[in-house]
Amino acid sequence: MKIKTLFLSLSCLSLFVLAVYSQQQISQREHEWREKMRNSPVQQQGTKEFIKAPLRLYWGGRGEYRMAFDFLNDTEFRTALGISDKQHQQILDTTGRFGADVLSNNSEYMKLADEVLVLKSAGDVYRLDVDEETMRIMLNYQKMNATLDATHVVDTMDNNLTAEQKQKVKTSLLANMAEVPIVSPGMFDVLDLTDTQKKEMEEIKKELESEFEKNLEILAHGWMLLTDKMAEELDKQGIHYDGDAGKNTLAVHKKLMEDPAYKKIHDDIMSQGKAFSAQSRTKMFDVLTDAQWMRLQELIDNPPNYAKVFLKKLKQKRGETEKSDVWVPGPKSWRPGDPIPEGIANSR
């Protein structure tokens, strides 16, 4: 094994999972509804699937475009990647038709949706004592919804970005691999891997698949625990959700980090994620030739301007002005107390 001393810290919760809020009074009825949703087994399992779906795509080598999609409304980001206003509008129009173009044309999904309607007409699917059959149907429905949504976004980006723009996205991820949630084999394609090297990367991915799924479950479960605590504190303060900057949530997070139980959950997730990242990237680094390794180090030490802009947007999304391990998901994330979205394109 070559001696490869690239010290990269992975922030597993850095790209997703934190709603932002405004100072609006929360009604008692809404408070009770959110409390019910936080405790619902159906809601909890469904939420996990919406966390996992984009990351599974990313691990599979396609999810990098999902990250770029999150920054498309930012003019500086589009300019850095050379994305035109026409491309931007086309992407927004296509992703906005998720329900009409994807869900309604998927017979398997529509069959599940019909089953869910029957279940909802018969009773409360979010009750604490939900039966096994209801849980099975709801979970299958939510998992398919999450997977179709994540895939639709990635396909739309893939179909509308030029080859050069795609290369810039991948290069940005590789240059900033310390800041992205997962180091996936597909990130290394920009180093011009040979067919043999690509096969080796795929073998590594297969070898780590079960470990990846285990860490994904830890991430999803831990995120829900932290979010529940965050939501409880925000409800106490009467803070409501909106799409603005997350100053309130950052302040609440900082306060909650003084709670040993909250901090332990946070630190355990971070530790577990960093351990998996170290394990996977060490194996992937060994596939590289000396020349590719030098290119990677040069890319990280001297990233192109568009990669610097990419990093800037990552940190802005997390509410950071400088590097930190603060857990700050994005404004489009599922929010505690909300039901799993059905036809979630309308929420974009």
pLDDT of the residue at 303: 95
Q: Which residue has the tokens 């073998």?
A: 203
Confidence band for 27, pLDDT divided at 50, 70 and 90:
low
Average pLDDT rounded to a whole number, residues 25-48: 74
> Residue 42 above 60 pLDDT?
yes
The HSE-up count of residue 256 (CA atoms within 13 Å, CB side) is 25
Which tokens hold the place of 245? 């900057």
Which tokens hold the place of 328? 């700050």
**What is this structure's pTM?**
0.74
Confidence band for 136, pLDDT divided at 50, 70 and 90:
very high
pLDDT of the residue at 310: 93
Label residues 60-74 b or e (16+ Cβ within 10 Å = b).
ebbbbbbbbbbbbee
Average pLDDT rounded to a whole number, residues 156-179: 91
pLDDT of the residue at 171: 94
Question: What would the pLDDT profile of 51-102 be if each residue is shown by its tens digit?
Answer: 888 888 888 877 778 888 888 989 999 999 999 999 999 999 999 999 888 9
Q: What is d(CA 61, CA 198) in angstroms, rounded to the nearest whole number? A: 11
pLDDT of the residue at 17: 38
Which of the residue ranges 9-18, 175-184, 209-218, 244-253 has the most confident prediction, judged by mean pLDDT? 209-218
Label residues 1-24 b or e (16+ Cβ within 10 Å = b).
eeeeeeeeebbbbbbbbbbbbeee
Instruction: State what percent of residues in the chain have pLDDT above 70.
Output: 78
Instruction: Please state which of the ranges 54-68, 103-117, 233-247, 323-337 shows the lowest mean pLDDT.
Output: 323-337
> Residue 129 above 60 pLDDT?
yes
Yes or no: say if 75 and 88 are a contact pair by the CB < 8 Å rule: no
* Amino acid found at 71: F
pLDDT of the residue at 275: 79
Q: What is d(CA 41, CA 47) in angstroms, rounded to the nearest whole number? A: 10
Q: What is d(CA 170, CA 201) in angstroms, rounded to the nearest whole number? A: 16
Contacts of 281 (CB under 8 A, 6+ apart): 8, 177, 183
Yes or no: say if 188 and 201 are a contact pair by the CB < 8 Å rule: yes
Domain ranges of the chain: 20-173+181-347
Average pLDDT rounded to a whole number, residues 164-172: 93
| DSSP-derived 3-state class of residue 21 | strand
Q: What is d(CA 90, CA 87) in angstroms, rounded to the nearest whole number? A: 5
Is 321 exposed, middle or buried, given 0-12, 13-18 or 19+ CB atoms closer than 10 A?
Answer: exposed
Which of the residue ranges 57-61, 123-127, 277-281, 307-311 has the most confident prediction, judged by mean pLDDT? 307-311
Instruction: Please state which of the ranges 25-34, 79-88, 113-122, 186-195 shows the lowest mean pLDDT.
Output: 25-34
- CA atoms 104, 70, 299, 13: torsion sign: negative
Would you put residue 82 in left (φ > 0), alpha (ψ -120 to 50) or beta?
Answer: left
Confidence band for 290, pLDDT divided at 50, 70 and 90:
very high
Q: What is the dihedral of CA 142, 144, 145, 151, to 10 degrees?
A: 140
